[in-house]
Amino acid sequence: MFLEETLKRIQSHKGVLGTIVVNAEGIPIRTTLDNSTTVQYAGLLHQLTIKARSTVRDIDPQNDLTFLRIRSKKHEIMVAPDKEYLLIVIQNPSE
Amino acid sequence: MSNGTAKMKKPVVKVTPSSRFSVNPKMPSIYQSGAPVKHNQSIMNRSVTGSSSRRSVVLQADSKLLDKGSLQTGKQAIQVFDEQGNDVTPLPLFHPDPNAPPPKQSNFFASQDASMITAPDFLSTISMYQTGMNTSFAGPFTRSIIGSSTVSKSSRSTVESMNEEIEEPGTKRVISLSLSDVQIRREEVKDIVTEDMLDKTVDVYLTETETLWILDMPATMISTDAEEAETVKLRTQAYVELCKNRLGNDLYVDRMMQTLNDAPKCKEVQCEKIIRAEAATMATIWDMYDTFLAEEASKEDNKTTKVTQPSRILSRPEESKGTDAMSIISSASISSLSSLGVDAESIISGLTKEEPSDPELILKSESFQQNLCVMERIIMENIFQPKLADYRQLHILKDPDCKPPEEDGIEEEPTEVTATTTPTLDRLWSFSCEVTKGHNVSSMAWNKINKDLLAVGYGEFDFRDQKGGLVCCWSLKNPMWPERVYHCESGVTSLDFSIGNPNLLAVGMHNGEIVIFNVQRQEDTPLIDSSNCFNKHTGPVWQLQWIEQERGASGDDKGDSLISVSADGKIAKWYLRKGLDCTDLMKLKRTRGDKSKKPTGEKERKIEALISRQAPGMCFDFHPKDANIYLVGTEEGHIHKCSCSYNEQFLDTYKAHRSPVYKIAWSPFSPDVFLSCSADWTIRLWQQDLLKPVLNFSSVNRAIYEIMWSPKSPMIFGAVNEERVEIWDLDNSILDPTIVSSASPGVTLTTILFAESTDCVLIGDSDGQVTVYKMKHLTSGITTQANALDDLIGSTLASQL
């Protein structure tokens, strides 16, 4: 219940373009974008997350990746990685 | 026999054993080959014996052969005649070198004329020898033949010498004697020569040897100009015609052959498919670390599994079912909401965790919630970044890709000469959401540990408008939604965070109840409430405070205790003992005013027949340095100074206000000074020793709901009355507030709270909004000394005298 509320709230925040929850295999569980975009985001970000995590842990194995933010010209992509899923939010902060 | 072309003819002289006896002792050399020689010899024997005709062969033919040149000493050449009398004298095979060594052989050959060799034998022997002979074979046989006949020494020597002669040209001649004998012979001859002719000049002639044809493959084509061209053409033509005529020609018969092919048999061999799979792995540092850790963890599985162990594998949310997973404040550690360190521990993947990849489960998992939380905050941060940065006095990041909006639009900064900038309140943002809309903000409190956490109580002041109360815990990181929402039965009138246990939030309500929430939990139910207490308050709890007391009563070692004042005139001290229980610190008795005596005499007696003997307490404040002394403000307008040691008597009473004193606040900088505000539109500054206020501040004719000293500057305090916020800067002016900010119409401002470390002030209003303002350009701040207030007071007092 709390989860649903939070998700809804996030989706309704100012500037948020889309929210995606993807499981470990890349299958979207929840999404507010269309399927092709979702799949594209999921695939690409999954790889990037793996690489980022590998980087972080290579430097210090006791460390781990907690959050990943990619800021681009048009918007910001925020990825909360986990072992079983990926939480992706795309926001346009300058709106 | 290619006699015409081949020039290598060997002189063949053969003597058969049968004819040997009639042979001259000086026998010619015998050229033998190996086995065929014998055979031939036997043939020869037979031929010799069998033949009726004999031909006499003069051995002198040899001499002719050998010394063709000047050595013909009148001997008769050997001539061979066949039966018809034709001269079939074999032509000489060998033409010796004219410079050959002097011929002793001539005598030898001359005397050898007794051989009887038949012509065909001779021919056959020639032919035989032409086929090629071997010296080695010749040797022993020759010798044996020679040995078998009476051979004189000289003959032998002559034979040898002849052999030598024959051998000399060094060509294909086969010498009957062994090589060693020949060589010996040769050397002797050479020695003789060199001694004699040392001084002579020897002419050496070098001539080209004869051309040796090893292989001759004549071309199949000849030029049309060649001599044989015509013949070749004719032949070719004849052949072509032959080919044409071949079909019907009897000379050519077509024949065919058939090979019988056995039936083919298929044989197949099949092996199992070799499945290839590529396996690759990358050994990264963390991979190795994980593996190593997993091994260690499996060993430790039997041992105690504490949730707080740093081993991530064990600390999965299953064990901490919501108690600590979403801990906002953990009493054990100082990890605040802002720090994601706590989050990291549970987000880190556990190796032994078998969580099904069910999407629903994923969504419900703790880590997901946490991530959501974090995500929301980050979104907020993106949205509110300028404001938050301003709040925290950080540099505001300018988004490089968007035009920075003028956040200071209200302010005069862009066009301002910075020398004189009027102090203003800059609105940053406001905490509000749908849940809180419409509720009156009654109290606010910062968390003692986590300075970003704010608890806001919503409840109506007036007894008429009572509805359900609300407690929201807001985080600065998320201005749009509270972290915690607790619903209460009646309006919340006061709240405070505990110092010793920062997760405990005590809430006082309008119905007199005090509840304590554990903000680590989400549930609405409080940890403890005071409903079972006998001594509980019967009137609205107007103020709550956790006080740190050095002296610990029996069992109270925590160091802080909850003090509450309520409208029933009691100041109670609460402690946890099988539930919330309280003892009375003080009962507020009504005191009469010095001047007025009501004619009804209701107030004259200490024990009155009023609704209650007690004077409703509205507020209190403990002395910042001395936890024993505290001030209480009552509804009557009196301020009593009390001590914890006495619960019957006041130490002092300050009378000045004519209406309920809503707030009392000791100055955090000057230990003797305190401030009070009341509904009589005034704020009064007191000094502890004086029963009269030192200074009075008033600006508008509105009840002042709350005041608060600025924690950073001794001369600044804020006051909120119904319609505006006033920031007083005593350094600036004691008559007027320095900053005034009006509320939006229809909204009354009710509470004020200063932020600890920044220049921000939070204002709560009756609409459920808590607005964060930043004080700008307040000149007096850090520069003023702590005793500036004392100076002021001193000067004021001095001026009053």
- Pick the closest to residue B386 from B337, B432, B428 (CA basis): B428
The neighbour count for residue B146, using CB atoms within 10 Å, is 20
pLDDT above 50: residue B63: no
Which residue in this structure is represented by tokens 């406001």?
B430
- Pick the closest to residue B686 from B616, B631, B745 (CA basis): B631
Residues making up chain B, counted from first to last? 801
Q: What is the CA radius of gyration of chain B?
A: 71
User: Do B776 and B423 meet the contact criterion of CB atoms below 8 Å apart?
Assistant: yes
What value does the mean pLDDT take over residues B658-667? 87
pLDDT above 50: residue B400: yes
Q: Which residue of B has its CA nearest to A57?
A: B286
Alpha carbon distance B477, B375 (integer Å): 11
Q: Does B369 touch chain A (CB under 8 A)?
A: yes
Alpha carbon distance B544, B506 (integer Å): 7
Confidence (pLDDT) at B398: 59
What value does the mean pLDDT take over residues B298-310? 60
- Pick the closest to residue B33 from B122, B131, B164 (CA basis): B131
* Record: contact A69-B378, CB cut-off 8 A: yes
Q: How far is CA B78 from CA A87, B25, B116, in A?
A: 126, 19, 12
Q: What does the pLDDT look like over A14-32, one tens digit per residue?
A: 788 888 888 888 888 888 9
Beta bridge partners of B621: B631
Look up residue B317 and give its two tokens.
């949310």
Confidence (pLDDT) at B133: 43
Look up residue B757 and give its two tokens.
């470390």
Confidence (pLDDT) at B384: 74
B429 conformational bin, left if phi > 0, alpha if psi -120 to 50, beta if neither: beta
Closest CA–CA distance from residue A77 to any residue of chain B (Å)? 10
Phi/psi for B566 (5° steps) reads -140, 175
- Pick the closest to residue B511 from B562, B439, B435, B568 (CA basis): B568
Helix extents (H) in B90-178: 105-110, 119-130, 135-148, 153-167
User: Do B544 and B563 meet the contact criterion of CB atoms below 8 Å apart?
Assistant: yes
Chain A environment of B384 (Cβ under 8 Å): none
Alpha carbon distance B476, B44 (integer Å): 137
Chain A environment of B523 (Cβ under 8 Å): none
Residue B721, SS3 per DSSP: strand
Q: Does B481 touch chain A (CB under 8 A)?
A: yes
Q: Does B343 touch chain A (CB under 8 A)?
A: yes
Q: Which residue of A has its CA nearest to B359?
A: A29
Q: Which residue of B has its CA nearest to A29?
A: B359
Chain A environment of B379 (Cβ under 8 Å): 10, 13, 15-16, 78, 89, 91
Confidence (pLDDT) at B278: 92
Q: Does A43 touch chain B (CB under 8 A)?
A: no
Alpha carbon distance B438, B443 (integer Å): 15
Closest CA–CA distance from residue A83 to any residue of chain B (Å)? 6
Q: What does the pLDDT look like over B192-245, one tens digit per residue?
A: 566 666 777 878 888 888 888 898 888 777 777 877 788 888 888 988 888 887
- B243-257, B408-422, B617-631: the lowest-pLDDT one: B408-422
Alpha carbon distance B685, B717 (integer Å): 11
Closest CA–CA distance from residue B320 to any residue of chain A (Å)? 18
Distance, first Cα to last Cα, chain A:
29
Which of B247 and B52 is assigned the larger pLDDT?
B247
* Record: contact B367-A67, CB cut-off 8 A: no
pLDDT above 80: residue A75: yes
User: Do B348 and A56 meet the contact criterion of CB atoms below 8 Å apart?
Assistant: no
The C-alpha angle with vertex B364 and arms to B525 and B327, in degrees rounded to 5, equals 45
pLDDT above 80: residue A53: yes
Chain B environment of A94 (Cβ under 8 Å): 399, 401-402
In terms of average pLDDT, the best of A16-25, B6-15, B429-438, B613-622 is: A16-25
* Record: contact B286-A61, CB cut-off 8 A: yes
- B291-300, B686-695, B783-792: the lowest-pLDDT one: B783-792
User: Do B498 and B504 meet the contact criterion of CB atoms below 8 Å apart?
Assistant: yes
What value does the mean pLDDT take over residues B294-317? 59
Residue B691, SS3 per DSSP: coil
* Record: contact A15-B289, CB cut-off 8 A: no
Alpha carbon distance B334, B691 (integer Å): 43
Helix extents (H) in B197-269: 229-245
Q: What does the pLDDT look like over B413-447, one tens digit per residue?
A: 333 334 456 777 878 888 888 888 888 888 888 88
- Sheet containing strand B673-678, edge to edge, reads B661-666, B673-678, B683-687, B695-697
pLDDT above 80: residue B782: no
Look up residue B443 and give its two tokens.
């109290």
Q: How far is CA B68 from CA B60, B157, B169, B461, in A?
A: 11, 21, 15, 164
- B25-29, B178-182, B315-319, B486-490: the lowest-pLDDT one: B315-319
Which residue in this structure is represented by tokens 């229809």?
B746
Q: Does A40 touch chain B (CB under 8 A)?
A: no
Alpha carbon distance A93, A86 (integer Å): 21
Which of A54 and B744 is assigned the larger pLDDT?
A54
Q: Which residue of A has its CA nearest to B400?
A: A73
Work out the pLDDT band at B61, boundaries 50, 70, 90: very low
- A50-64, B226-240, B298-312, B320-334: the lowest-pLDDT one: B320-334
Q: Does B364 touch chain A (CB under 8 A)?
A: yes
- Determine the number of helices (DSSP H) and then strands (DSSP E) in chain B: 14, 28
Closest CA–CA distance from residue B487 to any residue of chain A (Å)? 15
Q: Which of B344, B363, B371 sits opposite A29 (nearest CB)?
A: B363
Size of interface A-B (CB pairs under 8 A): 110
For helices B135-148 and B35-50, what crossing angle results, to 10°? 40
* Record: contact A3-B372, CB cut-off 8 A: yes
What value does the mean pLDDT take over residues B278-293? 85
Q: Which of A30, A73, A87 sits opposite B375 (nearest CB)?
A: A87
Q: Which residues of B340-376 are buried (b: 16+ CB within 10 A; e: fewer)?
A: bebbbbbbbbbeeeebeeebeebbebbbbbbbbbbbb
pLDDT above 70: residue B138: no
Q: What does the pLDDT look like over B492-524, one tens digit per residue?
A: 888 888 887 888 888 888 888 888 888 887 777
Confidence (pLDDT) at B325: 35
Q: Does B294 touch chain A (CB under 8 A)?
A: no
Which of B444 and B17 is assigned the larger pLDDT?
B444
Confidence (pLDDT) at B77: 63
Q: What does the pLDDT look like over B364-399, one tens digit per residue?
A: 677 777 777 777 777 777 777 777 777 776 665 555
Confidence (pLDDT) at B438: 80
Confidence (pLDDT) at B550: 59
Alpha carbon distance A28, B359 (integer Å): 9
Q: Which residue of B has its CA nearest to A73?
A: B401
Residue B176 per-residue DSSP state? S
Alpha carbon distance B544, B495 (integer Å): 6
Closest CA–CA distance from residue B686 to any residue of chain A (Å)? 48
What value does the mean pLDDT take over residues B19-26? 42
What value does the mean pLDDT take over residues B59-88? 55
pLDDT above 80: residue B19: no
pLDDT above 60: residue B29: no
* Record: contact B359-A29, CB cut-off 8 A: yes
Which of B455 and B465 is assigned the larger pLDDT?
B455
Q: Does A12 touch chain B (CB under 8 A)?
A: no
Residues making up chain A, counted from first to last? 95
Closest CA–CA distance from residue B369 to any residue of chain A (Å)? 6
User: Do B660 and B679 meet the contact criterion of CB atoms below 8 Å apart?
Assistant: yes
pLDDT above 70: residue B616: yes
Maximum CA extent, chain B = 204
Tell me what percent of chain A is helix, strand and coil, each rounded to the nearest 5.
Answer: 40, 30, 30
- B83-97, B114-128, B280-294, B655-669: the lowest-pLDDT one: B114-128
* Record: contact A87-B371, CB cut-off 8 A: yes
Q: Which of A16, A84, A91 sits opposite B357 (nearest CB)?
A: A84
Phi/psi for B34 (5° steps) reads -80, -125
Interface probe for B, chosen from A50, A84, A86 (most Cβ of B below 10 Å), is A84
Q: Which residue of A has its CA nearest to B385?
A: A93
pLDDT above 60: residue B709: yes
Chain B environment of A80 (Cβ under 8 Å): 371-372, 374-375
Residue B362, SS3 per DSSP: helix
Confidence (pLDDT) at B397: 59
Mean pLDDT, chain B, whole residue set: 67
Q: Which of B286, B355, B399 sits opposite A84 (nearest CB)?
A: B355
Q: Are strands B770-776 and B453-458 parallel, antiparallel or unpaired?
A: unpaired
Residue B402, SS3 per DSSP: coil
The neighbour count for residue B637, using CB atoms within 10 Å, is 21
Q: Which of B349, B376, B399 sits opposite A6 (nearest CB)?
A: B376
Q: What does the pLDDT look like over B529-563, one tens digit per residue?
A: 777 677 677 888 888 888 876 554 444 445 677 88
Alpha carbon distance B58, B661 (integer Å): 176
Chain B environment of A27 (Cβ under 8 Å): 359
Work out the pLDDT band at B343, boundaries 50, 70, 90: very low
The neighbour count for residue B769, using CB atoms within 10 Å, is 21
- Pick the closest to residue B662 from B673, B676, B642 (CA basis): B676
User: Do B368 and A82 meet the contact criterion of CB atoms below 8 Å apart?
Assistant: yes
Alpha carbon distance A10, A18 (integer Å): 9
Instruction: Write the ipTM.
Output: 0.76
Q: Which of B340, B350, B380 sits opposite A66 (nearest CB)?
A: B340
Residue A28, SS3 per DSSP: strand
Q: Does B397 touch chain A (CB under 8 A)?
A: no
What value does the mean pLDDT take over residues B6-19? 45
Chain B environment of A83 (Cβ under 8 Å): 349-350, 353, 355
Closest CA–CA distance from residue B579 to any residue of chain A (Å)? 30
Chain B environment of A7 (Cβ under 8 Å): 372
Work out the pLDDT band at B781, boundaries 50, 70, 90: low
Confidence (pLDDT) at A48: 92
Q: Does B304 touch chain A (CB under 8 A)?
A: no
Q: How far is CA B389 from CA B1, B393, B428, B476, in A?
A: 124, 6, 10, 11
Beta strand spans in B712-769 (E): 716-721, 724-729, 739-742, 749-754, 760-765
* Record: contact A67-B340, CB cut-off 8 A: yes
Closest CA–CA distance from residue A13 to any residue of chain B (Å)? 8
Q: Does B790 touch chain A (CB under 8 A)?
A: no
Q: Which residue of B has its CA nearest to A6?
A: B372
Q: Which of A3, A66, A82 sits opposite B364 (nearest CB)?
A: A3
Q: Which of residues 494-523 of B touch A (CB under 8 A)?
A: 522
